[in-house]
Structure 1
Amino acid sequence: MSYLTSDPNQTENTDPIIRPPYFFISGFIDIPHMEYYYIFLCFVYIISLVGNTFVMMVIYMDNSLHSPKYIAVFNLAFTDVCGSTAMVPKLLDTFLFSRQLISYNQCLTSLFFIFLFLNMQSFNLTILSYDRLVAICCPLRYHMMVTHRSMFQLTGAAWALAVFLVLLAVGLITRLSFCRSLVINSYFCDHGPLFRLAAPCSDVVPNIVISYLNPCLMLYFPMVFIISSYICITHALLTRGIAHGLKTCTSHLILVAIFYLPINITYLLHPIIPTNARIFNLSLTLVLPPMLNPFVYVLKTEEFKESAKKLLRKRRAQRAVVPIQST
């Protein structure tokens, strides 16, 4: 599929930027019965939506959870809901209903929100690792270092940096001319496959630079910080002879592994892995962590479980009172 002007030389003189009316999202290539996989993603999305909404509701309604740590947990659940919503409904509409054409503006909008919430998942895991680092390595100073103000500042800075870098990536896309193929070899408007379409017609060097800069700032630097923090945590616990304290960090480590391992495999092995394998791996990376986060991290926390049980008992009591009053 291609997009060609009737007079390329005239177009170059009047408007050097060729913006096509639409792109074609190819998705998986030559794999039979993929509709079952998309239905699976639909169930994953529903579970993610219910689980993370429940987490946000409990944190909001229980004053005992209005602590700095749960600001980060709430932000993680919010990001998971938004990230899944930005991707899965559009994916289902695209492939289950064969609507693989997407307009230029819709493509850039989808790219912005998917990468924004993907990057915020990484930052949220980093903020939670900072909370564990201070709690274990500096327990006497925890309430001085991890305050509501500091947690809001960390979260706000993460959002600002994520928005800026993703806007920069999208802005660099708008300067490109797409004069040949319009087929995006992914299941959404992926940044790399999108700007490579303009390589024959435009200078994509700035886009290549930002494609390396964004993963470094959004994935690799946070991952290095998380690994370093757990080295410090392990050293502190072993020094005190309380190695069993690492069990309190197990849930967070599981989330880190679930998020970072697949996405790093995708980026590091991108040149040698088949297109379908890359798309499949990236799709699972974007939908599975949001579904698992409430169950692996939050629902295993005793403090949260007690708050949830208390709210459920209160809700049942209120329902029991209503029929009595009506009679």
Structure 2
Amino acid sequence: MENYTFNSFTLQLEGLKVKQASMYPVFFFFLFSYLFIMIANVGIVVLIFIDKSLHQPMYLLFCNLPVNDVIGNSILLPRLLSDILKPPSKLLIAYYECVVQAFTTHMFGTTSHTVLMIMAFDRYVAICNPLRYAAIMTNKMVMKLTVSAWGVAFVLVGILLGLTIRLNRCRTLITNPYCDNASLFKLSCESVFINNIYGLTFTVVLFTASIGSVVLTYTKITVVCLTSKNKSLNSKALKTCSTHLVMYMVMLFCGMLVIALHRFPQYSNERKMSAILFHIIPGSLNPIIYGVQSKEIQKFMLKMFRSRKVLSSK
């Protein structure tokens, strides 16, 4: 008969099943990924704020992505790095720390969608209504869009975790290398019907709104480009929109892979790794893709490099 421990404040993490020979390669992969994410994302945010030529709605809205990447990965990766080197029996986490980690993890995923939605709106206004762009995309509008992106995510995830926290717990094993909502409500012996319904509704609404808004805005942008004979407009639209779409597709693919692998228990280790890569891959690629595609960022980087070269030659 199974033993139950009710409402324990110490939980056991299942962790990654890493072979002894692979332990240090995996550790250093996560370590260098985390360092790169922190340096690249913090660097690009600082760059945008110190260069006045980058104080444009497109770049200010983009700043939400690196901030989200830094917060999401800072909660997950340092803890994961320490856990890789521990034996399974030592993988313990306090219940409230687990709740905070789950909240941050879901905030990361949800905010990734909402931020890319407001970025799609910005590109739509810039290309489909360029004459009114400055009047529509004011600093006030940028602030409203930013608050909306984070506020909607906060409310949706708050309800998600609130429904889970209300449950009594009779188990202590988190079947994941880190805490998320599903792992937390599976600790309960009570009915989780409401949790499953809200979780499914949450996912469907988020993905429908996200995919729908991106498809709608980019369909209209495509129509404008096809009917316009302005080669300069078409070139600019193609460049900025391709950047945004690449970021969106990477994030969507990583997220859907995690959801798909949940349906196949035999691939639990692959699911765990893909869930971690959902944080690492977008966080690593966002600053690279955006930095490479942006002429303004390239110019600033070249200017900084040349000024340092001149100073070092003196």
The normalised TM-score by structure 2 is 0.89
- Cα distance in 1 for partners of 2:129, 2:276 equals 38
- Cα distance in 1 for partners of 2:309, 2:46 equals 16
Partner of 1:90: 79
1:222 is matched by which residue type in structure 2?
S
2:242 is matched by which residue type in structure 1?
T
Partner of 1:13: none
Partner of 2:301: 308
| 1:69 is the counterpart of 2:58 | yes
Matches of residues 21-40 of structure 1 in structure 2 within 5 Å?
21-29=9-17, 33-35=21-23, 36-40=25-29
Deviation string, structure 1 residues 272-292 (Cα, Å, up to 9, x no partner)? 362122212111111110111
Structure 1 position 91, deviation (Å): 0.9
Q: How many equivalent pairs are there?
A: 305
**Structure 1 190/249 Cα, relative in aligned 2: closer, same or farther at 3 Å?**
same
Deviation string, structure 1 residues 202-233 (Cα, Å, up to 9, x no partner)? 12122112211332344442122112211111
Partner of 1:155: 146
- Cα distance in 2 for partners of 1:164, 1:316 equals 49
Query: Given that residues 16 and 84 in structure 2 are in contact (C-alpha distance below 8 angstroms), is that contact kept between their aligned partners in structure 1?
Result: no
Q: After superposing the two structures, state which structure 1 stretch, 182-191 or 218-227, moved more.
A: 218-227
Partner of 1:296: 289
% identity of equivalent residues? 29
| 1:165 is the counterpart of 2:156 | yes
Structure 1 position 314, deviation (Å): 4.9
Partner SS, residue 186 of structure 1 = coil
Partner of 1:210: 198
Partner SS, residue 11 of structure 2 = strand
- Cα distance in 2 for partners of 1:91, 1:34 equals 15
**Structure 1 312/133 Cα, relative in aligned 2: closer, same or farther at 3 Å?**
same
Partner of 2:242: 250
Off by >6 Å, runs of 4+ in structure 1: none
Partner of 2:30: 41
2:198 is matched by which residue type in structure 1?
I
- Cα distance in 1 for partners of 2:257, 2:157 equals 21
Structure 1 position 175, deviation (Å): 1.3
Partner SS, residue 197 of structure 1 = coil
Give 5+ residue unaligned stretches, structure 2. none
Give 5+ residue unaligned stretches, structure 1. 6-17
Partner of 1:197: 187
Deviation string, structure 1 residues 13-59 (Cα, Å, up to 9, x no partner)? xxxxx421211111234756452223212111111111111101111
2:251 is matched by which residue type in structure 1?
F
The normalised TM-score by structure 1 is 0.85
- Cα distance in 2 for partners of 1:70, 1:205 equals 42
* Cα RMSD after superposing both structures: 2.3
Structure 1 position 3, deviation (Å): 6.2
- Cα distance in 2 for partners of 1:33, 1:202 equals 41
- Cα distance in 2 for partners of 1:37, 1:232 equals 44
Query: Given that residues 60 and 142 in structure 2 are in contact (C-alpha distance below 8 angstroms), is that contact kept between their aligned partners in structure 1?
Result: yes
Partner of 1:78: 67
Query: Given that residues 103 and 180 in structure 2 are in contact (C-alpha distance below 8 angstroms), is that contact kept between their aligned partners in structure 1?
Result: no
| 1:187 is the counterpart of 2:180 | no
Query: Given that residues 3 and 20 in structure 1 are in contact (C-alpha distance below 8 angstroms), is that contact kept between their aligned partners in structure 2?
Result: no
Structure 1 position 293, deviation (Å): 0.6
| 1:265 is the counterpart of 2:261 | no
2:41 is matched by which residue type in structure 1?
N
2:86 is matched by which residue type in structure 1?
F
Query: Given that residues 223 and 260 in structure 1 are in contact (C-alpha distance below 8 angstroms), is that contact kept between their aligned partners in structure 2?
Result: no
